[in-house]
Structure 1
Amino acid sequence: MRDFQTIQNTAFDLIIIGGGINGAAVARDAAWRGLKTIVVDKEDFGGGTTSWSTRLVHGGLRYLEYFEFHLVRESLKEREVLLNAAPHLVKPIQMTIPIYGSGSRSYWEIWAGMMLYDVLSFDKTLLNHRMLPAKKVRQLFRSVNPEDLKGAAQYYDAQAEYAERLCLENILSAEEAGATLLNYVTVVEIQRQDERITSLVCEDQLSGDRFTIKGTDQAVVINTSGPWVDQVLGLGRRGDRQAPIGQDKKMGGTKGSHIIVDPFPGAPDTALYVEAASDGRPYFIVPWLNMYLIGTTDLRYTGDLDRVKANDDEIDYLISETNRVVPTAHLTRKEIKFTYSGVRPLPNAEGKKPGSITRKHILFDHSKEGVSNLISLIGGKLTTHRQVGEEMVDLVYRKWKQPVPECVTDKQRLPGAIMPDAPEIDAALETYGDRVAAESIHHLFLIYGARAPQVLALVDEAADLGEKVVDYLPDIKAQAVYAVRAEMAHTLADICRRRTTLSMQANYGFDALPAVLSALQQHCGWSEAKCDRQSEAYRQFMAENCIPDYLLASPELTRELQPTA
């Protein structure tokens, strides 16, 4: 149970609205510097833009053409920090850029960009780039379209296969340092007096309870709500009347969609970074959890931020462009296993092409709009979240006109940090190898890292928790129970979409629901009625966000989408 009475009786130094990767990073940094910190998110942690990303921790090679050298350098530095801070979640990945005569960038331009990329990542542990002539490319990538091929560039970036868990580990680190963290809490009102925010009126979506979060005399409110920044600013009140904060629109997000497919004929062993022929936009074909993640699009978006879905045209665009680059693929809509889409929290930039809008983040101090203790984050990327946290907390101390304490997050590892040859893995295999499949044990260390033994310990409590959720995936029932007990999961989407990747691998998660619900009923006290409600809500979530429109009426999914009898 959440103790709202204690929260109401506590004065916080930092009140953070939005628990995506950037809000989590701010909370982590602030809490470890000793600030009394609270985070609220109207949905689950990482449930917005964080969970809809391409899952790459990269320097932003294409930002070079817009002369954003500082952003590229910052991103490359943070990539190195994350490779060390979370080696179980952030891993090197090789990228190959096929270069065509018809492309917008010549072989020599890309070569120059790669050399600059290496210069800006002078302190990296990854290998430098190499350029490949066309003949070598055809030897290494025999299924890549050879027509007008001039060569390729190869380099290394990093991948965060479980981006949602990277966010969660920031949340858990903040909690370890004393922060208060609340998901499924909606900010209803932002109360102001004179030029200061005095309190937030909040509503707990799980219980319906209303409560108030108050700050100290010097408290600062941080708005890291991503694409919802303007909506949060619209909640401002002064006395008994609504008084939105600021007049100008801050956000101008673009929509990015992805598709997931099984391995296809000619699928590359490493990632391809290619240019779409139809519009010149770069996109990725990335190996991901024994499947392929393909994306992303970049379209202006003005629709419902809570209901963002890849449309049929976007899906066809990604299929068509992939078939052009890899002619043997022959992908069709039938090969689509999962789709997802989100909105990038970019600054409002009317008239600019989506791809040219800056990706650098802005810390917007609302003092210039008459609110002295509010800062909004405009922009922000998965790669640079730790840097955002550091900058935001530094700015808070400067606003207080106090000395800025040393930031520790650039050297501190995340809670699950562990190397792939850690002795704990062999110990777990020896202890649980007769009760849990070896592939499942290895899988747990990939996801939870050093915290995997805590998940396995549940098998000592109940042997059935060591069983697989579905026979074709390594996930076990204990993961669902652990998500609820230790990772602040409250819904099936939390468990299947963000604490695990069951939604994306097990037929939209439908194959996994019987085992997951059984485990929750037996070991987490979920009633049959709650299981039915959660099951129906999960099916609605999948239909609204992840299942392509052309599939919604298909016979194979019609039955799955029906509410539990």
Structure 2
Amino acid sequence: MRDLAQIQQTEYDVIIIGGGINGAGVARDAALRGLKTILVEQNDFASGSSSWSSRLIHGGLRYLEHFEFPLVRESLKEREILLRIAPHLVAPLQLTIPVYRDCAKRNSKADRSRPYWQIWAGMMLYDLLSFDKTLPVHRMLPQAKFKQLFRTLEAENLVGGSQYYDAQVALAERLCLENIISAQNAGAIALNYLEVMELPLENSRITGVVCQDKLTGQRIVLRGSPDAVIINTAGPWIDQVCQRGSKAGNQFTIGNANKNGGTKGSHLVVDKFPGAPATTLYVEAKSDGRPFFIIPWLGKYLIGTTDLSYQGDLKQIKADNHEIDYLLQEVNSVIPTANLKRDDVRFTYSGVRPLPNSEGKKPGSITRKHIIFDHHQEGVDNLFSLIGGKLTTYRHVGEEMVDQILRRMKRSPRSCQTAFLPLPGCILPQDKRIQQTINEYGSSLSIETIYYLFSVYGAIALEVLALTKENPTLGECISPDLLDIKAQIVYAVTKESAHTLVDILRRRSTLAINGHYGLNLLPVVTKTLQQYCGWNLQECDRACADYRFYMEYNCIPDYQLCQQLRKFD
């Protein structure tokens, strides 16, 4: 339960605004170092940029072109840490780069590919910067070998290719959630659907944070300790947070609220298609030379991303028809047998990267390095804003931010634990608890379901499965063609702060990307919520309407709207 009265009576050392991966990382580190911490998020945890990425944990090979060697090294180091502390969520991923002869002058608007020697040099440097890695080193593939391994790829002007390893976090939302859970286990409070309305300022300090509970409409004030620090990790919304400053009852903007210069990135999800590779392809678009990925993901393929300047509504961001056609065309160009069409799209998602404002620069050339901005230079002594940042480096961002907090509070340094302390679900495939669980639940659940739950929750699967002991019907599959069980719905609401159907189907699970955008699953999901979570019929009807609205304005392509929505009305 959300005891807002008790929350208002407490004084906090750190108040974090924004519950994406970076805010979650700061909250975890701060709580583990003994700071009284609270995190608030205006929507759901990981509902913004954290769930809009390509779901890669990577060093950023193309950053080498911009000589961002420190960023690449930082990212590669963090990749190793995440492989160690979250092996149930972060797994090695092989990537393949086809290399084509430069034919830009004849056929395209930009260089199709870097020269073979340049790719080789980049691979050597990438291996050098990841000198402490546990993943295999790269290998170069000459033309004949590449054609033998990848027979379905476009062969014209192909000169060879390269293969190397990075990592993938298939369930990026759950990586964020496990950092939230870890922070809570260390004493932090984390609340979603609590929107910051006002940042009162007295004598150059923010004295508290005025919030509104979007679930009840109630307003509360979060009180800071005498040396409290406010952290703005709102991603694309950081400027909006700064516009909530107030003094003597008058609203004002804290400093120059034009620090964010995000770009829109869209992704498509399709089923396996003719010629689909077993490895991730990292290719450059034939039409404009822009790099994009074709990634095996949860039994499907994730294609993306675009990179467009964006100034629109952050609440309703959608892949438009032009972006969809662009990505389909480019896949068909590199894999002619794919023959993907609009009807092959099963899901789309789109979001804004929280990048530094860089007017005049091309979107792809804007740095991905994060900036911790100290608002002391703008007259506010206890506010830091995170500008930029990426999924891979969130843990290091948290460490840097908490170091800054302790210095600002003039408290003695305390060692960071997040580089070696496993996340709550951490478990290895050979862990004996998995076989013990199969022995215990094998008579009521299929082995495939049990393995699936461990692949989603890691060790936390034991808590989900425990619900089926109390109520055996919760062990039933949500749909005959899925391994997800009803216990996951109940666990999401009772233990994981899920309040809406979008929370449950889009972020606590992957139900939204299966079948028809999750619309076909709404009857069984709402029935389970009524039976086990106390939702009434009116609440379920309203939640279904909200879910359809979200899918319509964020995920379902315009040309599929009538077909999908009418089918399940």
What is the TM-score when the length of structure 1 is the normalising length? 0.98
Q: Would you say 1:286 and 2:275 are equivalent positions?
A: no
Map residues 131-530 of structure 1 onto 2, 5 A cutoff: 131-530=140-539
Distance in 1 (alpha carbons) for counterparts of 2:162 and 2:226: 55
CA contact (8 A) 1:470 1:511 kept: no
Superposed CA deviations along residues 527-560 of structure 1, whole A, max 9, x for unmatched, are 1111111111111110010001111123x43232
Q: Within 1, Cα distance between the matches of 2:444 and 2:257? A: 59
Residues 1:59 and 2:59 are matched in the alignment: yes
> Deviation of residue 104 (structure 1)?
3.9
Range that drifts further, 508-517 or 132-141:
508-517
Q: Counterpart in 1 of 2:106?
A: none
**Amino acid across the alignment from 2:146:** V
Moved more, 417-426 or 258-267: 417-426
CA contact (8 A) 1:202 1:212 kept: yes
- Letter in structure 2 aligned against 1:111: W
Q: Distance in 2 between matches of 1:110 and 1:559?
A: 48
Q: Deviations over 1:46-102 (max 9, x none)?
A: 000001110110000000000000000000000000001110000001000000012
- Does 77-86 or 429-438 show the bigger shift? 429-438
Greater shift, 305-314 or 100-109, is seen at 100-109
AA in 1 matched with 2:406: Y
Alignment counterpart, residue 566 of structure 2, candidates 558, 561, 564: 558
**Partner secondary structure for residue 223 of structure 2:** strand
Other structure's SS at 1:416 match: coil
Match of 2:8 in 1: 8
Alignment-derived partner of residue 115 in structure 2: 106
Unmatched 5+ residue regions in structure 1?
none
SS of residue matched to 1:553: helix
What residue in structure 1 maps to residue 108 of structure 2?
none
Alignment check: 8 A CA contact 2:99 2:113 kept: no
Separation in 1, partners of 2:515, 2:416 = 41
Q: How does 1:45-124 map to 2 (within 5 A)?
A: 45-102=45-102, 103-124=112-133
In the alignment, the residues of structure 2 paired with residue 512 and residue 432 of structure 1 have an alpha-carbon distance, to the nearest angstrom, of 25
Q: Match of 2:289, as an amino acid?
A: G
Amino acid at match of 2:46: G
Post-superposition offset of 1:362: 0.2
Q: 1:364: Cα distance to partner?
A: 0.2
- Whole-Å separation in 2 of the counterparts to 1:99 and 1:557: 42
Q: Which amino acid aligns with 1:192?
A: L
The 8 Å contact of residues 258 and 294 in structure 1, kept in 2 or not, is answered as: yes
Kindly provide the CA deviation profile for residues 424-477 of structure 1, in whole angstroms up to 9, marking residues without a partner as x. 111111111121122111011011111111100111111111011111111111
Q: Match for 1:325: what amino acid?
A: V
- CA drift at 1:422: 1.1
Cα distance in 2, alignment partners of residues 551 and 334 from structure 1: 8
* Structure 2 portions without partners, runs of 5+: 103-111
Query: 1:402 deviation in Å?
Result: 2.9
Identity of aligned residues (%): 60
Q: Deviations over 1:506-547 (max 9, x none)?
A: 310112222211111111111111111111111111001000
SS in structure 2 of the partner of residue 376 of structure 1: strand
Answer yes or no: is the 8 Å Cα contact 1:226–1:377 preserved in 2.
yes
**AA in 1 matched with 2:297:** W
Aligned to 2:24: 24
**CA–CA distance in structure 2, aligned partners of residues 502 and 270 of structure 1:** 24
Q: Distance in 2 between matches of 1:378 and 1:524?
A: 39
Distance in 2, Cα, partners of 1:347 & 1:290: 35
Superposition deviation, residue 341 in structure 1: 0.3
Amino acid aligned to 2:553: E
Q: Structure 1 CA distance, aligned partners of 2:489 and 2:262?
A: 33
Query: How many Å separate the matches in 2 of 1:315 and 1:136?
Result: 32
Q: CA deviation at 1:340?
A: 0.3
Deviation at 1:239, TM superposition (A): 1.2
Deviations 1:335-365 (A, max 9, x none): 0000000100000000000000000000000
Amino acid at match of 1:172: I
Task: Report the Cα distance in structure 1 between the residues aligned to 2:171 and 2:41, rounded to whole angstroms.
Answer: 20
Cα distance per residue 1:134-175 (max 9 Å; x no partner): 111111111011110011010000000000000000000000
Contact 1:255–1:344 (CA<8 Å) still a contact in 2? yes
Give the match's secondary structure for 1:242. strand
SS at match of 1:132: strand
Tell me the CA shift for residue 248 of structure 1: 4.7
Q: Contact 2:194/2:212 (CA < 8 Å) preserved in 1? A: yes
How far apart are the structure 2 equivalents of 1:477 and 1:36?
Answer: 36
Q: Distance in 1 between matches of 2:559 and 2:567?
A: 15
Cα pair 1:31 1:37 within 8 Å, conserved? yes
Helix, strand or coil at the partner of 2:136:
coil
Give the deviation of 1:381 after TM superposition.
Answer: 0.6
The question of whether the paired residues in 2 share the 8 Å contact of 1:363 and 1:376 is answered with yes
State the distance in 2 between where 1:360 and 1:440 align.
40
What is the CA–CA distance in structure 1 between the aligned matches of 2:26 and 2:291, rounded to whole Å?
Answer: 31
Partners of 1:174 and 1:482 in 2: CA distance: 19
Number of equivalences = 560
User: 2:29·2:417 contact (CA, 8 Å) conserved in 1?
Assistant: yes
* Alpha-carbon distance in 2 for matches of 1:185, 1:328: 49
Q: Which amino acid aligns with 2:514?
A: Q
Residue type matched to 2:19 in 1? G
Paired amino acid for 2:89: L
> 2:276–2:338: 8 Å Cα contact kept in structure 1?
yes
SS at match of 2:535: coil
> Aligned Cα RMSD in Å?
0.8
